Amino acid sequence: MGDSLITIIAIFLAAILMFIFPLMAMSERTDDVSQIAVQTATTEFTNNVRTTGKLTLEDYEKFISTIYSTGNTYDVQMQAQILDENPGVKTTQAETTKIGENVYYILYTTQIEERIANSKNDTLTLKEGDRFMVTVKNTNTTIAQTLRNFFYKLSGNDTYQIAAQHGGIVTVNGTN
Amino acid sequence: MKLQHLAIIFIIIVVPISLVLSLYINNQIKSIGYQSRYDSYLIDATYDAIKAFQLNTYNNRFSTLGNSKIRDIEASINTYFDSISTNFNNYTANDIKEHTPAILFNLYDGYYIYSKYFDTELNDYTFGLKPFMYYSCRYKYGTNNDFVVNYTLDNTITIIGMVNGEYVSKTGHLISLDDEVLESMNLSSYSSWEVLEAVLNSNSNANLNKYKEVLTEDLIIFDSANGTNQKTETFEYIVYNSQKVYKNNNASANNEKYFYYSTGNTKNFVNSDDMIELLDKHIGEGNHFYSYSAIQYYYDAQEFTKWVNSNLNGIKQSHAVDNEGNKITFASDTGEADIFVTSKDNNPLKSNSVFNENRLSVIRKSIETNLIVAIDNFSDHSKTQYEFVMPNLTEDDWYKIENNISIVTFLQGLPISAKVYNNYCAISNNTNQEMVGTNSLYVIDGNGKYHLPGCQELIDSLYNGTTIEGIYLSSDFQRKSISITGSDSNAHGQLTGSNQGTYVYFYPKMATSCYNCIVTASNGYSTDDIIANTIKTSDGKNLDSSKLSNPFLIALARVRYNLYVTNGYFGY
């Protein structure tokens, strides 16, 4: 009786160790590799927009296809904060850097996509002083997440397995 | 073997592999994190550097002079090191210097490289600016032609050397003689500039009068009758000897008619009778102060282009040689096409002309060669063990460098977790007073709004009858500062309630930016379209060239003529 109980436990442990553990470890690593790819692509894409002042459809599609090539689906959120200096120009003593004298208004992903689609050369042009940022999060449940949820469920808000964020000031006036 | 044994062996094999793999990948993720952080630091610091250069040049009215320019560049480089070392917690500015093999500063007619050089005074290698280098190329054709062409970021070139057996040194603007504006000016009937100037002064030629421009600027002044009354007033000006001379609106005496607006916020009146007499000639119809710069640009450019077309015909890319006479190959091959003979197709103002292709190739070749040498030298005398090499610059970055004032910074050899950081950053700027690119002009319409020249809203409103108020350099729309002293400073302090009233700020062109193009630009024509006049209204109607294309070309000519050209001492 004692031996068979130990055997059952051993089989159970062996199953976990020989199948579940490697599977979890490998799926975690796959997500890590995806994380590297997504983080790199996001940084590159954002920096390219920041240093050229242009967001072209070609670059955007290339970025999307790079991140989707990791086998996951993503929610890509872009934000272009457009500097409007006009309120500051109303007074001669205005300072372009002073908070409150200028305003930023924000274009979100769908507005950006719409502007690119409506432009002559499939480009959104930004100017020096604008800000551009991109946030990428996975929307599917990866194998690692499924396995983790099987063993232990996190309570509260769900976390993202693959997420990348990058942004900064646009450094040059884009040209048409 | 029992199942338990198998399981233990399996664990012994798999767990370490999994742990090592996990560590390795985590390290890679950390590296990527560092890399994107360092990329941001590099871009931000380079941006700070070019911003410092931009601010210094347009607030410094002597920024075009050699020494002053070097000072501005050195200040900008200091800004770069200060900015980047602030972001890096564990590296000081000096540490970063040891990992910066070169900083390229490319300007209108040449470039500086900041790197390590041998200082003979200190008898050691030290950091500093290497001598200024021109974008030059030597052409050798037959036995009678052996000359060097110094290119610039626009259509201005300098030719030095033997042309058709004669030694020449000439600087000028190369244009297409088929240019519509040039043809309508009909300048070839005037034997010299003096003859043409006399006609302009006498207002006798109605056709030419169309090209005389009234330029205005809003300056901040203190009302002397009422000490605390600070106000902006609009003055007409012309550029004479690279300096803006303003016409006083309420001159009470002859020697108060014209003034220079200096940094001291005081009106420096022109006192010399000869100069006043000369400026008086620019007063024309309606008592306005007329600028002849655009006409003078076209006159000089026409003379120069005619000379170039007849003397440099037959010069092709294959005639380019290095200092030992060996042929040079370039990134772009223009084959058997004449470089310097201009026509409607080979219009130097168009970005895809043969002249432009060669200009870009020469700039690229020159920078590439010298950067490789500078970085290699740095590597030989570096305190770090890292081998510094020049990275491959992308085509996009080359485009920026070849067409604008820009800064390229290199940062190499910093350890980041599993890797070594190696990157560069190229940032260009088209809002400065060093050069006038075709993208550096803004158009003010009759409604007091300013636009990019290719703005669809502007094109539509011009078609519907709105007029152009003026076309000015983009840096004129930036806020400028001047220092004030004495009673002006006190008065300003009282006005703003602060005792730090030593600087006042003003916008030389005070207009509201267009929400369709300047604030957020996406639906415009390029300047190539404007030059070729292929622009259409939003409902597909052609816009007459006199509405936008010609005024744009005239303004471009005027602003380029007024630009101070450093190497223009060769018979300019």
Which chain B residues touch A52 with a CB distance below 8 Å?
396, 400
Give the model confidence (pLDDT) of B239-283 as tens digits: 887 788 999 888 888 888 898 887 656 678 888 889 899 899 899
> Domains of chain B: which residue ranges?
3-131+382-429, 189-258+267-292, 441-562
Residues in chain A, pLDDT under 70: 1-2, 88-101, 153-158, 176
Residue B32 is nearest to which of A25, A39, A173, comparing CB atoms? A39
Task: Say if B13 is an interface residue toward chain A (CB within 8 Å).
Answer: no
Q: What pLDDT was estimated at residue A88?
A: 65
What's the token pair of residue B124?
């050691």
Task: Say if B6 is an interface residue toward chain A (CB within 8 Å).
Answer: yes
Q: What is the DSSP string of chain A?
A: -HHHHHHHHHHHHHHIIIIIHHHHHHHHHHHHHHHHHHHHHHHHHHHHHHHHSEEEHHHHHHHHHHHHTTS--EEEEEEEEEEE-HHHHTSTT--TTSBTTBEEEEEEHHHHHHHHHHSTTSEEE--TT-EEEEEEEE-SPPHHHHHHHHH-PPPSS---SSEEEEEEE--S----
Q: What is the DSSP string of B505-552?
A: EE-SS--EEPTTTTSSB-SB--HHHHHTT--B-TTSPBPPTTTTHHHH
Question: Are the Cβ atoms of A33 and B25 closer than 8 angstroms?
Answer: yes
Q: What pLDDT was estimated at residue B438?
A: 78
Residues in chain B, pLDDT under 70: 1, 3, 60-67, 223-229, 263-266, 485-502, 521-523, 564-572
Question: Are the Cβ atoms of A172 and B428 closer than 8 angstroms?
Answer: yes
Residue of A nearest to B220 (CA): A92
Residue of B nearest to A165 (CA): B36
How many CB atoms within 10 Å of residue B391? 13
Question: Are the Cβ atoms of B36 and A21 closer than 8 angstroms?
Answer: no
Question: Are the Cβ atoms of A176 and B506 closer than 8 angstroms?
Answer: no
Q: What pLDDT was estimated at residue B484?
A: 72
Q: Chains A and B: how many Cβ contacts under 8 Å?
A: 150
Which chain B residues touch A92 with a CB distance below 8 Å?
220, 232, 504-507, 510
Q: What pLDDT was estimated at residue A97?
A: 54
Question: Are the Cβ atoms of A172 and B523 closer than 8 angstroms?
Answer: no
What is the least distance, in Å, from the CA of B333 to any CA of chain A? 26
Strand partners, B340: none
Q: What pLDDT was estimated at residue B298?
A: 93
Q: What pLDDT was estimated at residue B519?
A: 85
Question: Are the Cβ atoms of B522 and A85 closer than 8 angstroms?
Answer: no
CB A47 within 8 A of CB A166: yes
What's the token pair of residue B326?
């060996």
Residue of A nearest to B427 (CA): A51
Q: Which residue has the tokens 């457009």?
A: A82
Give the model confidence (pLDDT) of B454-494 as tens digits: 888 899 999 998 999 999 988 888 888 777 766 666 666 66
Q: Which of residues 35-74 of A touch B (CB under 8 A)?
A: 35-36, 39-40, 43, 47-48, 50-52
Task: Say if A168 is an interface residue toward chain B (CB within 8 Å).
Answer: yes
> Domains of chain A: which residue ranges?
2-169
Residue of A nearest to B511 (CA): A89
- Which of A57, A93, A126, A135 to mutate to probe the B interface, most B CBs <10 Å? A93
Residue A50 is nearest to which of B22, B43, B496, comparing CB atoms? B43
Distance, CA of B250 to chain centre: 36
Residue of A nearest to B523 (CA): A119
Q: Which of residues 452-491 of B touch A (CB under 8 A)?
A: 452, 454, 474, 479
What is the least distance, in Å, from the CA of A114 to any CA of chain B? 11
Of B401, B110, B433, B98, nearest to B243 by C-alpha is B433
> Which region holds residue A145: left if phi is over 0, alpha if psi is between -120 and 50, else beta?
alpha
Strand partners, B271: none
Q: Which of residues 137-166 of B touch A (CB under 8 A)?
A: none
Q: What pLDDT was estimated at residue B363?
A: 93
SS3 B371: helix
Task: Say if B259 is an interface residue toward chain A (CB within 8 Å).
Answer: no
pTM score over 0.90 = no
Where do the H-state alpha helices sit in B60-158?
Answer: 66-87, 93-97
